[in-house]
Amino acid sequence: ATALLERLLAARGRPVAKDELMASAWPGIVVEDGNLTVQIANLRKALGTTPDGQDWIATVPRLGYRLAAADEAATRVGPPRIAVLPFLNLTGDPSQQYLADGLVEELASAFSRFRSFSVMARSAIHAHRSRVAGNVDSARLLGVDYAVEGSLQTHGSELRVTIGLADHEDSILWSRSYRGSIDTLFDFQDAAVSDVAAIIEPRIRRAELQRARATRPANAAAYDLYLQAVAGIHAHDADDNAQAIELLDQAMALEPGNGTYAGFACWAREMRITMGWPRLPADDAERCVELANRAIADAADDAQILAHCGLAVQLVAREYERGLLVVERAAQLNPHDPVVLLNCGIAHYLGGSLETALALLHRTIALQPNHAFEAMGVIGNVCSALGDHESALAWARRGLAINDSYQPNHWVAVSAAAHLGRLDEAAAALRLLREKVPGLTVASLLVVRPSDTRRDQVIAEGLRLAGLPEGPSPGN
């Protein structure tokens, strides 16, 4: 009975299938359904009834059971859960099912590398294969927050795979079709899986942020504080960043041992230092590095946390070799994550190979073209370090066209225009930059240095040519 209750509690109010409950209570043993019925009855007797007189454990027809939450209107806390459903074989040929199953296995494996959500076990989904395949209500049936669905069609040697993401309310969040050939099956499969994995994670993150924003502050748990903080970090704004740090400090106070919260608190502080924003009373380099080291130890299997904290080790502690090793470890853990690849590219710009940096950054853009302004800014930095100011300016402009609030693209645009002798253009770009960051100086930007300081001297010299004062750092 204890194992059954633990499994129902872990579902956080979502339905749990009978097969899953029986596997939890009697692992590796074949038992009759009646045993489950008896144990559920014993639990109901022990738990009593809810304030409105209902059983705490409710029967879900044709599926299993669910444990009622103490407040049914309460917001879910904790990372969301995702299921990769069996793909529909629309070829008309049962022998082609292996193609669909292979894609499902690869997608589930790729998703398991992310730590921002958990992936339902394939064995649990397989037990309900006939019920969930092609069922628009599949996420709800399985008790997950999101479901990845798909179908396979063939025409001769040509393949067409359609993949979509739905939430538990049956809303389609994203869908895309991929075309390839059976003759190049593995290349097609690798490309499709990599693309889908790169797209699905940020889609889920955005959906979770929207949910968190709708949460009443008085009821916000640590996880929702964290989600709201992530939104503030991604705003790339000094005030939003300060609010994010406050939210993350609250989350860490509620869950002191959570490495994810420590990692994002480290990232937010590193961003303040990197951007040259005014320091907060408790926002110093020592605290940033302390959080980085804690998160690296506590979240050693979370690729995004390692990627952010490895950069902080480089940028703030100036331990370039150790930081690069941490970020490269992140890329090994999850080569499908554009955030990880971006940070790995930055890490190589700071303390590794410029050629490797460019390859990683171009890969980042290919995976996430509509959110590639950061990678474009770093490519601009690399081009500047290589003396290619025309390319640096072009990449900075491309990044600003996507998001004109990202300051590094402004730095590159100002510097590159000045190096090219376009001083009027550089001066105009500098005025815009200083409107965004009052009090900005060359010294404030040089707080963060690559291991080879010649790499950022090119940017610094261009900013001086454009008229940016040398000055002290705003944090001093």
Q: What is the CATH number of the domain that holds 177?
A: 3.40.50.10610
Q: Classify residue 209: in a domain, yes or no.
A: no
How many separate domains does the chain show?
4
Q: What is the CATH number of the domain that holds 51?
A: 1.10.10.10
Is the model more confident about 378 or about 169? 378
For residues 369-382, average pLDDT: 92
232 & 341 share domain: yes
Q: Classify residue 446: in a domain, yes or no.
A: yes
Reported confidence tier of residue 439, pLDDT bands at 50, 70, 90? confident
Is the model more confident about 401 or about 369? 401
Q: Classify residue 205: in a domain, yes or no.
A: no
219 & 367 share domain: yes
384 & 424 share domain: yes
Is the model more confident about 305 or about 59? 305
Q: Amino acid identity, residue 389?
A: H
Q: Amino acid identity, residue 117?
A: F
348 & 383 share domain: no
Q: Classify residue 14: in a domain, yes or no.
A: yes
pLDDT tens by residue, 413-437: 999 999 999 999 999 999 999 998 8
179 & 270 share domain: no
Q: Which of 174, 200, 226 is the last residue of a domain?
A: 200
pLDDT tens by residue, 97-151: 889 988 998 999 899 888 888 888 776 676 555 555 555 566 766 778 899 999 9
382 & 317 share domain: no
Q: Which of 326, 347, 371 is the last residue of a domain?
A: 371
Reported confidence tier of residue 311, pLDDT bands at 50, 70, 90? very high
* Structural domain for 290, as ranges: 215-371
Mean residue pLDDT of the chain comes to 86
131 & 176 share domain: yes
Q: Classify residue 74: in a domain, yes or no.
A: no
233 & 366 share domain: yes
Q: What is the CATH number of the domain that holds 313?
A: 1.25.40.10
Q: Which of 67, 99, 122 is the last residue of a domain?
A: 67
Is the model more confident about 22 or about 54? 22
Of 186, 195, 203, 269, give the one whose Cα is nearest residue 232: 269
Residue 403 pLDDT > 60: yes
122 & 196 share domain: yes
pLDDT for res 361: 97
The Cα–Cα gap between 412 and 13 comes to 50
3-state secondary structure labels for all residues of the chain: CHHHHHHHHHCCCCCEEHHHHHHHHCCCCCCCHHHHHHHHHHHHHHHCECCCCCECEEEECCCEEEECCCCCCCCCCCCCEEEECCCEECCCCHHHHHHHHHHHHHHHHHHCCCCCCEECCHHHHHCCHHHHCCCCCHHHHHCCCEEEEEEEEEECCEEEEEEEEEECCCCEEEEEEEEEEHHHHHHHHHHHHHHHHHHHHHHHHHHHHHHHHCCCHHHCCHHHHHHHHHHHHHCCCHHHHHHHHHHHHHHHHHCCCCHHHHHHHHHHHHHHHHHCCCCCCCCCHHHHHHHHHHHHHHCCCCHHHHHHHHHHHHHCCCCHHHHHHHHHHHHHHCCCCHHHHHHHHHHHHHHCCHHHHHHHHHHHHHHCHHHCHHHHHHHHHHHHHCCCHHHHHHHHHHHHHHCCCCHHHHHHHHHHHHHCCCHHHHHHHHHHHHHHCCCCCHHHHCCCCCCCCHHHHHHHHHHHHHCCCCCCCCCC
Burial class (CB in 10 A: 0-12, 13-18, 19+), 472: exposed
344 & 390 share domain: no
222 & 345 share domain: yes
Contact predicate 174/165, CB 8 Å: yes
Q: Classify residue 207: in a domain, yes or no.
A: no
Residue 342 pLDDT > 60: yes
pLDDT for res 217: 43
359 & 328 share domain: yes
Q: Classify residue 123: in a domain, yes or no.
A: yes
For residues 262-282, average pLDDT: 87
Q: Classify residue 206: in a domain, yes or no.
A: no
Residue 5 pLDDT > 70: yes
